[in-house]
Amino acid sequence: MAAIATAVAAATSAFTSFNLTRATPYTRRHIRTFIASSSSPNEFNITFAPPKPKPKPEPEPANPINPNLDNTELSGQLYIPWIVRDEKGNLTLQSTPPARLLHDMANASTGKKKKKGKEIASKAATKVGPTAEPKHSKAARRFYNENFRDPPQRLAKVLAASGVASRRSSEELIFQGRVTVNGSVCKTPQTKVDPARDIIYVNGNRLPKKLPSKVYLALNKPKGYICSSGEKETKSVMALFDDFIKSWDKRHPGQPKPRLYTVGRLDVATTGLIIVTNDGEFAHQISHPSSNLSKEYIATIDGEVHKRHLIAICEGTVIDGVHCTPDNVELLPGQPDKPRPRLRIVVHEGRNHEVRELVKNAGLQLRALKRIRIGGFRLPADLALGKHVELNQAQLKALGWKS
């Protein structure tokens, strides 16, 4: 170390004396050159460790899955093998997914995943079974009863809706003291009752709590049947619904059988459309003259029909002290299968035998009469005689039902 210090001191003194003789300053490069060029009697043997040799790259192993596949094709990519059965039925490996899988993935529909909690709850519900209905508070029950429960109805109306008898016959049963409400005999048909709450007995038989569902039927009435629900009638229109009443328990279990009746009437010789129901409000609204529903009839005439006959029908006639005129009268064109002349007559009052009286007053002889339309509902062309069809909401609306 002493020798190194002596050499450094000698170099410093030489640099100082040399710097005084020249005005140009020396840079670091000049200092290094000067120090390297200076001769020193001492020689330094400084050696450094050789650099650590770099490891030789090992050769890439062959593809363990498919030795025939070149690794250069998979450089920098993740190889996922696909086992595919070829046309001969042999299993082979390939680097791309099958075309069928790609097609199914492209056409697959996406959806939201169900939460685990909901899945567990649904599984538990299927295992345990249906749970009991939750108990509501008194305020909630009171609100439901005041706003959604059917209001109490007159006793005679409830008996008629339950199928006991007609409205008038039910009133007679009440007057005779054969009906009890909550253990007391009731002789007032206007008494308001609720079948779901009140205990009603008729001739010692308990009235069911549930009233039957509302029924709305359209019947193609055949000739020779009377529109009466009386049990004494041997050939009543109600006899055409025996199969419907017998199958009621299968379609509506737990409900009493309905008592059906016709909306309005057709005489025994008239055929065609007639409505049958167990809804009194509906029947009253459709049959009342204030509904102003038009009814269309087809009248088959014996003999020839002239213009004077049409004018006489249009002028109308007096029925029960009221002058009645039709809305429309038209002579239909003849058809090969129907040689007799036919008239299309539209009325809206619907008085008893109105169409027959109009034809008779014109001096024509009526052979057959058929009703084909009430309001906006027309008798289906494929409905055979004696058959019926249930009406849907659109058809009821066409009849003028506003409920």
Active site residues: 267
Question: Is there a contact between 352 and 266 (Cβ–Cβ < 8 Å)?
Answer: no
How, if at all, do strands 184-185 and 91-94 pair?
Answer: unpaired
Q: Which pair of structure tokens corresponds to residue 315?
A: 């002028």
Instruction: Please state, as a whole number, how many other Cβ atoms lie within 10 Å of the Cβ of residue 122.
Output: 11
Q: How far apart are CA 116 and CA 137, in angstroms?
A: 32
Q: H/E element holding 319? A: strand 317-319
Residues in the chain: 403
Interacting residues of 366 by C-beta distance below 8 A, sequence separation 6+: 299, 300, 301, 302, 356, 359, 360
Question: Is there a contact between 261 and 276 (Cβ–Cβ < 8 Å)?
Answer: yes
Taking Cα atoms as reference points, which of 228, 258, 168 lies closest to residue 176? 168
Q: Which pair of structure tokens corresponds to residue 355?
A: 């169409």
